[in-house]
A and B are shown apart, each in its own frame.
Chain A
Amino acid sequence: MSLLQIRNLHAQVGGHEILKGIDLTVNAGEVHSIMGPNGSGKSTLAQVLSRHQAFEVTGGEILFNGKDLLAMKPEEAACEGVFMAFQYPVEIPGIGNAYFVRTALNAIRKYRGLDELDAMDFLPLYREKMRLLDMDEKFMNRSVNEGFSGGEKKRNEILQMAMLEPRLAILDETDSGLDIDALRIVAQGVNVMRSPERAMIVVTHYQRLLNYIAPDFVHVLVDGRILRSGGPELALELEDKGYGWIETEAGQIAPASA
């Protein structure tokens, strides 16, 4: 059975249809990349998968691990193993990073019938993952994302992913705003998470990230539909030719792209 099956998914926000029939199957162990121009619906798909309530699903279904994902609240999806690395991670002033991750980890463990971790069990694990992402220990007690640079926020997302060990990780534009060195660190953090049990969906506007996180499959999303699917070579083709090529080929009117 596939880990994730999306069938004919339609979604809208504020009466405006954004996803116009998405079909996608993701198996455990696979890394899929979803690429597309601005406004194509990439982020919407990521948000729907993590059950953001602002997007109304008007048709289709999503099975996650055989369960109806669309019936789940965001926290249920999270507890079932869906993790999203946010494009714009949110700041929570006054709440320390370590405390926050432990609260989240314990909420998920509780849902799965596991014992909660106390600080003594948690902290060594957390420290180890911080080292992996080249993060200073002082981040541990700083408020969640508060005063972080864009790069630090992105690293913090991957740190949380490493701690929560999801079954499906969705990376929403995790490369944006990173310089080459930060990108390497983030990519390394993601790559050590690749495993036969875990799937990843890498949403990106730019091709550069895929030089560091090699996808098994690439899908091109334009105007709410997947117009092309292929292997990693598709990403390179896109870099050369831009999105216009696929849009024209598919007979679409090209929306303005940056």
Chain B
Amino acid sequence: MAVQTAQLESYLESFTDFTRAHASATPDWLRTLREEAFVRFCEVGFPTTRDEDWRFTNLSALVRTPFRLVRGNRAALAVSDLAPWIIENALARLVFVDGLFAPALSTIGSLPNGVVVDSLASEIARQNTANGAAAVAKHLGRYLDTRRDPFCALNTAFLEDGAFVHVARGVALGAELGAGIARPIHLLFVSTAGSESAPSPTPSMTHPRNLIVVEEEAQATIVEDYVSFGAEIPAFSNAATELVARGNSTVEHFMVEREHLQSFNFSTLRIEQARSANVVSHSLLSGGALVRNNVHPVLAGEGGECLINGLFVGSGRQHLDNYMLVEHASPHCASRQFYNGILDQRAHGVFHGRIIVHKDAQKTDAKQTNRNLLLADDAQIDTKPQLEIYADDVKCTHGATIGQIEDNALFYLRARGIGEIEARRLLLEAFAGECLGRIKPGAAHDYAHSVVEARLVSLAAPAPASSLTAESPERNLDSHWEEVG
């Protein structure tokens, strides 16, 4: 508790500095939003494992690290530095360096009428003059639950920049090629805490905040991508995204986490779905020391459909926590959660899938499946389904499996002449393929595929004993980046 208090003071210091720096250019509504959120964060503090939602994730390492906001000079990145993370054929790329928009690294091509892709900070600065800015004021902060989750409160308190995407009614963004090939909007968040040009080697924190509004009958594909640049210095990325899918819209969203192994990555995707909206969320967690990914859709309109697809791959001492809260608030909605986990060495995975079916949400159809592969005796998975059903005509199913690579299958492949490492890789790929198979074809699919493939190559190889320690770098980690893109 003493540690907590000391740390809260450090956050208070950061917040005071932050408010002072922004004093002049902040509209009142935003100042209020931040201040209320910070008060809420101070009231609640960091959760402990006694909190049911955090039972399997110990935050003490995060709590005792004094993270500071990155101020002033940022690392100077060149477009060529981004090479490993480029999505070919993306519709637009917004790059954020340590939480702030970097226009020189970003490309926003010509977009259809009524579509806005911009940094949130500049939209806020427009002060309600443009179409998009009106959407900001209308939606920002309206969905995220800062009461339930102190990390959401913290994000809102330090809300400064992130992406803003607004797709006007009826626009099928990035789908003009037809034949199911979607072109994504790529949001790339680069943490440069340990780069040579970074101002100081102190642990840094960022709080990216994204707002995505897809209007009625519109369509969009968004990739949120978290990467690190440079040496491994502890960094804390605490992102939050509000995704508003209005009536009959279709949205595909990706969360890709592949920061280095000193990173703390916390993220929340809060989805608000109107009538007949169809949202697909893919989470690919591969990097980071301590990662928590919250996906929280609220099916608020009748006939909505939501697919939450996830793959987490951990090794070393990585801790990857997947928390889902699916709220069925209207009748005739369907939700699907499919999460596959692959854990090696001493990695610890968590799948916490909570489904709440509200009283009026009759004819709900909710399904949840979590499958896990443990590659080592010390790897650990905690899987916890949690169903709360207040309606009486619903269909809910859940399933969980924990298993190992099957010796028989491995032997079969080897008996056909395939080497052991290659055989393991094939089997891992087949297991991960279940998740990749749920991604619609297109540039984002290919990108996700290459990210996963690179990660699995390293897992298939036998582990050198040294990689069991947290201090040692992930095997071949840097080389993956080269292979990607």
Contacts and interface: CB of A to CB of B under 8 A. Distances in A.
Touch A–B, Cβ below 8 Å? yes
Interface of A: 38, 87-88, 91, 147, 149-151, 173, 175-181, 205-208, 239, 258
Nearest to B303: A176
Given A177-B277, A179-B219, 6 more contacts: A176-B248, A180-B175, A181-B178, A205-B247, A207-B217, A208-B217
A243 to B, nearest CB: 13
Interface residues of B, number: 28
B172 A150 contact: no
A179 B275 contact: no
Contact of B250 (A88, A147, A178, A206): A178
16 contacts: A91-B365, A150-B278, A150-B305, A151-B278, A176-B248, A177-B250, A177-B276, A177-B277, A179-B172, A180-B172, A180-B175, A181-B175, A205-B248, A205-B275, A207-B217, A208-B248
A173 B276 contact: yes
B354 to A, nearest CB: 22
B217 A179 contact: no
A151 to B, nearest CB: 8
Interface of B: 170, 172, 175, 178-180, 216-217, 219, 247-248, 250, 274-278, 301, 303-305, 307, 332, 334, 363, 365, 367, 395
A181 B301 contact: no
Nearest to B217: A208
Contacts of B170: 208, 239
Contacts of B250: 177-180
Contacts of A177: 248, 250, 276-278, 303-305
Contacts of A147: 367
A154 B197 CA distance: 55
Contacts of B219: 179-180
A88 B363 contact: yes
Contacts of A176: 248, 275-276, 303
Nearest to B277: A177
A128 B407 CA distance: 42
A179 B248 CA distance: 9
Given A150-B334, A206-B216, A179 B307 contact: no
Contacts of B365: 91
Nearest to B172: A180
A192 B204 CA distance: 61
A25 B208 CA distance: 57
Contacts of A208: 170, 217, 248
B308 to A, nearest CB: 13
A38 B302 CA distance: 10
Nearest to A175: B248
A177 B302 CA distance: 11
A258 B175 contact: no
Nearest to A150: B305
Contacts of B216: 206
Given A175-B248, A206-B248, A181 B179 contact: yes
Contacts of A205: 247-248, 275-276
A179 B277 CA distance: 10
A258 B274 contact: yes
A180 B247 CA distance: 14
A177 B450 CA distance: 29
Contacts of B180: 181
Nearest to A149: B305
B188 to A, nearest CB: 25
A191 B363 CA distance: 31
Nearest to B169: A239
Contacts of B178: 181
Contact of A206 (B247, B278, B301): B247
Contacts of A178: 250, 278
B91 to A, nearest CB: 15
A2 B301 CA distance: 38
Nearest to B302: A38
Contacts of A151: 278
A181 B441 CA distance: 12
A14 to B, nearest CB: 15
A178 B178 CA distance: 14
A88 B276 CA distance: 11
Nearest to B181: A181
